[in-house]
Amino acid sequence: MKDIIEYMLKEDCGFGDITSNALIPEDKIFAGRLISKESGILAGINIIKDLFLDYGIEIISSMNDGDKIKKGDLLLEIKGNARKMLLLERTALNLLMRMSGVATATNRVVNKVVEVNPNLRVAGTRKTSPAIAKFDKLAISIGGGDTHRFALDDMVLIKDNHIAVVGSVKEALLLAKANVSFSKKIEIEVETLEDAIIACENGADIVMLDNMDSDQINDTLEALVNKNLRNDVLIEVSGGITEDNILDYAKCDVDIISLGSLTHASRSLNFSLDMD
């Protein structure tokens, strides 16, 4: 994650901050206050503190990841070299605002869901912006959600294109069980009741019901119960789920709801760095 942040800084800096270098003495010391302009859940502040510390900026006071914040809150107070502070400003704010936006959206969805089904997990997906997936996943976790896979090596997730290449749900599962370590869970994505049954009968640890409506999900769950298959598998639902309709899915007896909108559609919170 530090390597990614260093790249972000290089991208923003270019060949140097010609404005600050022209206007500000090299040894000028200043204080800065990072202020919230709206309410939400703070996420990424520990990463930002480490970034400032790496550049010799002193941390005077700070709120914590997971804190509920409101407009006007002092999130972070710093003191140090003014040029370095301005060099870091935009990268630090962009990352902190995005992570806090993801955490806020996640927390809002989780709070809705637990009122209907307290045992249900809300998870993210890999629909993140390139290079910042780990930051997005951390923000989901801070917001009370489940990260799902961090990367392709976390677990087996057999999707529709894998099945299309291999030929069938059963064959895909048999190949995975034969070729992947026992230490990795195997999840498979299905779109029909029939394929869900086949997946459970052939050793899937997790079955993702993809793009099913609530009636189709309930019919599938009932069929699995009738065949004594439900207790042996985790059921995840995904596809077409938003904050507006998630409660329709939360009322079903599933274990996990994953939605990409937590990361690909969340709005960044608004923060500012004021230098005194």
> Active site includes 185?
no
Strands (E), 185-265: 186-190, 206-210, 234-238, 256-258
**Is the C-alpha dihedral spanning 216, 222, 227, 232 positive or negative?**
positive
Report the b/e string of 189-217 with b at 16+ CB within 10 A: bbbebebbbbbbebebebbbbbebebebb
Backbone φ and ψ of 265, nearest 5°: -130, 5
Exactly one of 127, 170, 177, 185 is catalytic; name it: 127
Vertex 234: Cα angle to 121 and 203 (nearest 5): 155
Contact 73, 274 (CB under 8 A): no
As given in the structure block, the two tokens for residue 73 are: 């809150």
The CA distance from 102 to 136, in Å, is 7
- Annotated active-site positions, please? 127
